[in-house]
Structure 1
Amino acid sequence: MRIEVDVAMEYELGAERVVFLTLEAAATTGQRIAESRLQIAGARLARIPGESGIGERVAARLPEARMRLDYHARIDVTRRERALEGLTAAPWHDLPAEAMTYLRPSRFCQSDLFETFAIRHFGRHPGGARVAAIRDWVRSELDYVPGASSAATTAIDTFTTRQGVCRDYAHMLCALCRATDIPARYVSVYAPGVEPPDFHAVAQVWLEDGWHIVDPTGMAGAESAVVIAVGRDAYDTAFMENRGAARMLSQSVSVRRG
């Protein structure tokens, strides 16, 4: 499936005029970059590999306080949706190194605190059926409420309030999967049909032969999601990082089928 992405943003920065940006579609398994163009007025750019070698961070050094950015890309998504229930899970001691990191608790996914709950509620299901049960539980138990959470909200907070946005849904799913020995990582994506249109968060779980996309909000499918970056949680995949003040003047994200 051909997906087209356009991002435009303008920010007013403080004294620190260096920002790290993670917003370009990644050249990774299941998708091919047909066209990619990132323009940041007057900036000097350097590139750094993303977490787990997926995608890149762009370090932009700006000549003035205002950052004006435009990004356009066309991506061919070649992966197919697979039924989770038919996929097997390896025991934790047989997992490859690339998956082991995503079994551990992280800042926003305190999986060690969910072990008793997760095993009691989902432990009877094998492999991918367990992930499907967790996905369905998160989707049914949480209410999608913009503004109900913040950048500091953790999976424990979301479990308590039962409200949040895509970020919180993904954290919740990752924490519960890890608590039952299924590796899960947080993934930032572009996807058509996301409301409101924005950077979107899903998860990937390690089952059988590799990573599989799971979206507990139900807004994005594996066959149309464009992976930007992966990490332990949202801390690893922020679309913009800087060490000083940053005030948003405008921002728009457009994702559509090509």
Structure 2
Amino acid sequence: MKFKVSAELEYDIKAPSTLILNIHALITAHQKVLHEELTIEPPIKIEELNAMNGENRFARLVTEEAGLVKIKYEALVDNYYEVKDHSNVQELPVSSFDASVLPYLNPSRYCQSDKLSRLAFNTFGHIESSFEKVFAITDWIYKHVEYLSGSTDSETSAYDTVTQQAGVCRDFAHLGIALCRALTIPARYFTGYAYQLNPPDFHACFEAYLGGDWVLFDATRLIPLNGLVKIATSRDAADASIASIFGDVYCSNIKVSCDYVGEEPFVPIYYTRSIFDGVTYY
């Protein structure tokens, strides 16, 4: 499935600073970047960095002078997903997990699974199927947490979201991750470009490790599951921030787009009560 994505960012630089951007489409065996271009006005020294685990592509910008910096990223991406029946997948023992999966079992800055273990077991512990557990988690979040723009900030954690019962996509994702980890289901943060998201923006959801696959879930229900272009996966948003700023810098504008440009008609996929198929995103 082919998507054309773009991100336009403007920063008001007050003093020499460094910006680390995380807006490039991830290159994987099943997500190919057919074309991409990063332009910066005025021209600034830039360096591309790849995370050691291969789950992020960073661009590091070093600014020497004050002024307005405009950044534009455009890419044509061809990605692949697979729909599988995960309804009868048996829960894997921790002893069988690959070492790369183990970090996604532990509490992290925004996903305090240790503080939410009682809630997780009392609410979802009786469900036998691992997939249905995660589906029930996303369904519970959708029903009990109000999607409310501007209701949270960069300090808001999964534990805060439970008490406030409001948040945005990153808060929905963090809560889903924390509840999964509390049930010994590895889960990781997913950020990307999203087709049909209104208003257009970067989007966050999460993946749960089920039967040897990373399966995508989105408790917001704002976008089709097959309408995503992956930027990064990580323990939580602390490791997958769109921009990490070091210096006196103010973001003055963000514009994001994601358009489907495939030859076949786009058929959206959502999870429903009657469909227990998992979307595995590569």
| TM-score computed with the length of structure 1 as normaliser | 0.95
Give the distance between the partners of 1:166 and 1:83, measured in 2 at CA.
Answer: 26
- The structure carrying a bigger helix percent of its residues is 1
Tell me the amino acid that sits aligned with residue 72 of structure 1: E
1:213 maps to 216
Instruction: Provide the residue aligned with 1:99 in structure 2.
Output: 101
1:1-258 mapped onto 2 (5 Å cutoff)? 1-41=1-41, 42-50=43-51, 52-65=53-66, 66-125=68-127, 126-258=129-261
1:56 is displaced (CA, Å) by: 1.0
Q: Residues 214-253 of structure 1, C-alpha deviation per residue, up to 9 Å, x if partnerless?
A: 1111123442211101111111111111222222222210
Counterpart amino acid of 1:9?
A: L
CA offsets, 1:121-170, max 9 Å, x none?
11122211111111111111111000111111011110001100001000
Give me the whole-angstrom Cα distance separating, in 2, the residues matched to 1:222 and 1:83: 15
State the Cα distance separating 1:29 from its structure 2 match. 4.3
Are residues 163 and 199 of structure 1, via their aligned partners in 2, closer, same or farther at CA, if it must alter by over 3 Å? same
Retained in 1: the 8 A contact 2:55–2:234?
A: no
Q: Decide whether the 8 Å contact of 1:80 with 1:222 is kept in 2.
A: no
Could you list the runs of 5+ residues in structure 2 that have no partner in the other structure?
Answer: 262-282
Letter in 2 for 1:199: F
Q: Contact 1:189 / 1:199 at 8 angstroms: preserved in 2?
A: yes
CA 1:85–1:245: 2 relative to 1, 3 Å = farther
Which amino acid in structure 2 is aligned with residue 216 of structure 1? A
Residue deviations 1:66-91, cap 9 Å, x none?
22101101111211344543433311
Looking at structure 2, the residues matched to 94 and 104 of structure 1 have their Cα atoms a distance apart, in angstroms, of 16
Runs (4 or more) in structure 1 with deviation over 6 Å come to none
**Cα distance between partner residues in 1 of 2:151 and 2:248:** 24
2:91 and 2:12 map into 1 onto residues whose CA distance is 47
Preserved CA contact (<8 Å) 1:114 1:175:
yes
8 A contact 2:17–2:249 mirrored in 1: no
8 Å CA contact retained: 1:52, 1:230 = no
SS in 1 for 2:116: helix
Counterpart secondary structure, 2:81:
coil
| Separation in structure 2 between the aligned mates of residue 16 and residue 217 of structure 1, nearest angstrom | 39
TM-score norm. by structure 2 comes to 0.87
Answer with 162-171 or 212-221: which moved more: 212-221
- Aligned-pair distance for 1:51? 6.3
